[in-house]
Every structure is written in C-alpha cells, then in structure tokens.
Homo-oligomer: A and B are copies of this chain.
Amino acid sequence: MTDFSVTKAQFDLPEGMIYLDGNSLGPLPKAAKSRVAQTVSDEWGQMLITGWNKAGWMAQPTNLGDRIGRLIGAPTGYVVLGDTLSIKVYQALAAAVDLVPDRKVILTDSGNFPSDIYMADGLIKALGRGHELRVVAPEDIENAINDEVAVLMLTQVDYRSGRMHDMANLTAKAHSVGAVTVWDLAHSAGALPVDVMGCNADFAVGCSYKYLNGGPGAAAFIYVAPQHVENCQPALSGWLGHEAPFAFDLDYRPGTGIERMRVGTPPVIQMAALSAALDIWDTVDMGKLRAASIELSERFIKGVEATCPMLTLASPRDPEQRGSQVSFAFDQGYAAMQACIARGVVGDFRAPNIMRFGFTPLFIDAEDVDQAISIIADVMQNKLWNSPAYQARSAVT
C-alpha cells in the first residue's frame, strides 16, 4: 500500500510553502540531487563518450518510457521519451493522419492546450493537403465525432478547469466512425490512473515535468498502440529512430517498434533527474493516488466555498469528471494568486480569470490543504489582493 507520508519525505519542499502547483512544475525529489550529480561527475566527467554504453544513456529513453508506461497503462516497449510535448504531438498527429488518408478533418476542442492546436496548425500548413482543424467546445466534442473525422486529438484533462474527458467512450466513438485518436496526457500522467491499452487509444503523448516531477524542461513521452507502431512512417525521421543509427546509411529505415519515434540525442542530464522521480513513482499504486487526490480536492472545494463566496468553482463539481486540480474563477484572479503566493500558498493563474490549484498526494496532505484554505480565506475576505504590487504582471505566470 502506498504510504504518502513516505513519499512526501522524499521531496525537497521549501520551508513554509504549500505547493499546489505540481500540475505545472513538480518539486525536487531529494534523490535527484545526487543522481544528477552522479551523472554529471561520474558519468559525463569520467566515462565521457563511453557513457552512451557504459552508463546506459542510449537506452534511457525506452527504459524511462517503460516506467512511465506503467502509470498510463501501456505495455512494455510502446513508450519512448524525448524532445518536448509539442514535438511529440506533431509526431503523433503526423502518423495519425497518415492512417486515415481519405479524410481531412482533425477534430479537437477549445479546451485543448494551445500548443497542441498550434502544432496541428503548423502540420496542416506543411502538409498542404487541405486538412481542416475543427475546434468545437469541449461539451460538443462527442456529437462532433462523425465520419468526416480522420483524427480526434484531445487533451484528456483541461489545463484550465481540470475537466476530464471520458477517454474510453470518446475513443470508442471515434473508432466506430473510422477515426483514430491522439490523447495528450499532460495533466493525466501521474495525476490519475490512465489505461491507454484498456481505452484502445491509438497514440498518447505527455510531459514529465508536471505530476511526474522530472524537473524543469524534462523530456516528453509518446505511446503508439501495438497495432500501429510498425505502420508509422515517422515525419521527424531522426537518426536515433533509424533501424541502425550507427551504420550511418544515407537511407532512412525506421527502427523497430517505438524506437522509430526517437529523433535526436537524448537529454542525458535531464533524464537523470527524471529517473530519480520515477523511483518514487515505481512505489505508487495509482488507485490509491486517485482516492487521495479526490479526498484532498473535495476537502479544498468544501473549505474554500465555505469561506470565500466571491470565488466561483470553475472545475466540474463531480470528482469523477475532474483531473487532479481545482480551479476557481475570480476577476482579480491574477492579483489574488500573487497575494496567496506571497503568503506561501503557491498555485498559478491562467488567463482570463482562473486561479488554479493542483493536488498531488505524493507531497500534499490534508493538513496542507487546511492551511491553504485558511490563507486563501484571509486573502479573499480581507481583499489582500488589492495592492498594486500584486497587480503588476510578470512575463510568466
């Protein structure tokens, strides 16, 4: 059984801070410090070029991919790490449209993360084959799945509201009309149990610096379903996705299975931090995590609503329809969040008016939630946000 007091002790959390932003950037696993130092000093420093074999750097993208695979219901050998989430979206979508060459519609919703939409837009322009990116409201997505659709591309959990799509049902509906699916798990992996195989998802992508705690700029991952992986012609056909990268042939031949989704040299030092984070994840039961996450977020909603009537819940009230975050709408949300942060409750703000709080049982417990509620109540009841210092916006929020 997962003991979250044990996992909490494995993170370095700043004194006096209640960090409800693990949905944006996870905190530092204590072991990452020595793991990264070891990779830098003992591996890079002492092994130099031989580290690619001796220290296992070359195999890390699939080794770490498999460990993430367990958290999202992927079988061994179908997840690989690399690049950034935007690049992985591009790879997945390019492969997906190829599987349904006679249709031109890529369907998504307006709650998708903008970069996914931008990458789709760039791919469509590059392809120049008349594909259409059809963007509908999240609540209209199910009805919009029809036999014009080539690819259904969705982020499972909305980054603003935490609203969660029903991955199994939407995937089944997509398949029933002959479409394939690309799921972005940025706010799902490490947040709740995901079952890409059980849902029959075709492609899935995600990042590892949010709930997975891989560190700022940690690499992304991609899953390709077993029935598709050998049929994908990679659009980003880099040498490390080649069947024999070190033969240095001039002709590209895709590697076996998921290896073909590799592109260039993997970020070895970043991967060291992620491997330390995954040591913690290896001990976690995702069902227990989900139960704890719901308990914490329900407690938070109840406490905030009881004390802050000026905040409007912007997340689904039903926990079954919510990821692992809770959002409240407030017109002065930016300033209010700055005031909370100044008092040690760190969430974040998303335009136009969303105050976002992430619940991450690995290092947040009920006592943290109660303290956070009391600080937020103080900020809201006493209008502590009403200070010029909190109104001035920085570039990154």
In whole Å, how far is A232's beta carbon from the nearest beta carbon of chain B? 12
Q: Are A216 and B268 within 8 A (Cβ)?
A: yes
Number of identical monomers bound together in the oligomeric complex = 2
What B residues does A40 contact at CB under 8 A?
Answer: 28, 32-33, 36, 215, 273
Q: Is A392 an interface residue, CB under 8 A from the partner? A: no
Question: Chain B residue with minimal CB distance to A37?
Answer: B37
Q: Mark A225-238, 1 if CB is under 8 A from B, else 0.
A: 00000000111111
Most buried by B among A216, A236, A237, A395: A216
Q: Is A110 an interface residue, CB under 8 A from the partner? A: yes
Q: Are A271 and B217 within 8 A (Cβ)?
A: yes
What B residues does A49 contact at CB under 8 A?
Answer: 21, 24-25, 346, 348
Q: Are B45 and A397 within 8 A (Cβ)?
A: no
Q: A84-B265, A125-B233, A216-B268 are in contact. Are A48 and B19 (CB under 8 A)?
A: yes
Q: A374–B57 Cα gap in the complex (Å)? A: 32
Q: Is A209 an interface residue, CB under 8 A from the partner? A: yes
Q: Mark A146-190, 1 if CB is under 8 A from B, else 0.
A: 000000000000000000000000000000000000000000000
Question: Chain B residue with minimal CB distance to A25?
Answer: B49
Question: Chain B residue with minimal CB distance to A118?
Answer: B252
Q: A220–B267 Cα gap in the complex (Å)? A: 11
Most buried by B among A36, A48, A209, A247: A48
What B residues does A90 contact at CB under 8 A?
Answer: 236
Q: Is A129 an interface residue, CB under 8 A from the partner? A: yes
What B residues does A341 contact at CB under 8 A?
Answer: 50
Q: A265–B86 Cα gap in the complex (Å)? A: 9
Question: Chain B residue with minimal CB distance to A241?
Answer: B118
In whole Å, how far is A208's beta carbon from the nearest beta carbon of chain B? 10
Q: A25–B58 Cα gap in the complex (Å)? A: 14
What B residues does A266 contact at CB under 8 A?
Answer: 217
Q: A87-B87, A264-B85, A264-B87 are in contact. Are A114 and B239 (CB under 8 A)?
A: yes
What B residues does A84 contact at CB under 8 A?
Answer: 83, 238, 263-265
Q: Are A53 and B236 within 8 A (Cβ)?
A: no
Q: Are B36 and A269 within 8 A (Cβ)?
A: yes
Q: Are B48 and A14 within 8 A (Cβ)?
A: yes
Q: Is A396 an interface residue, CB under 8 A from the partner? A: yes
Q: Mark A32-46, 1 if CB is under 8 A from B, else 0.
A: 110011001101111
Q: Are B216 and A265 within 8 A (Cβ)?
A: yes
Q: Is A115 an interface residue, CB under 8 A from the partner? A: yes
Q: Mark A70-97, 1 if CB is under 8 A from B, else 0.
A: 0000000000000111110010001000
Q: A247–B85 Cα gap in the complex (Å)? A: 19
Q: A354–B397 Cα gap in the complex (Å)? A: 51
What B residues does A128 contact at CB under 8 A?
Answer: 127-129
Q: Is A350 an interface residue, CB under 8 A from the partner? A: yes
Q: Are B12 and A234 within 8 A (Cβ)?
A: no
Question: Chain B residue with minimal CB distance to A214?
Answer: B269
What B residues does A17 contact at CB under 8 A?
Answer: 48
Q: A70–B86 Cα gap in the complex (Å)? A: 29
Q: A218–B236 Cα gap in the complex (Å)? A: 19
Partner of A27, one of B32, B45, B129, B242: B45
Residue pairs across A and B with Cβ atoms less than 8 A apart, 28 shown, are: A12-B41, A25-B48, A28-B40, A28-B41, A28-B44, A28-B45, A37-B37, A49-B348, A53-B394, A83-B83, A83-B84, A83-B264, A85-B265, A86-B263, A86-B264, A114-B239, A114-B242, A114-B248, A115-B240, A118-B237, A118-B242, A119-B236, A122-B235, A126-B127, A135-B250, A216-B265, A246-B397, A248-B350
List the 3 closest pairs (A to B, CB-CB), nearest first: A84-B264, A115-B239, A122-B237
Q: What 5 new A-B contacts, CB under 8 Å, besides A53-B395, A248-B350?
A: A36-B37, A84-B264, A121-B252, A209-B265, A216-B268
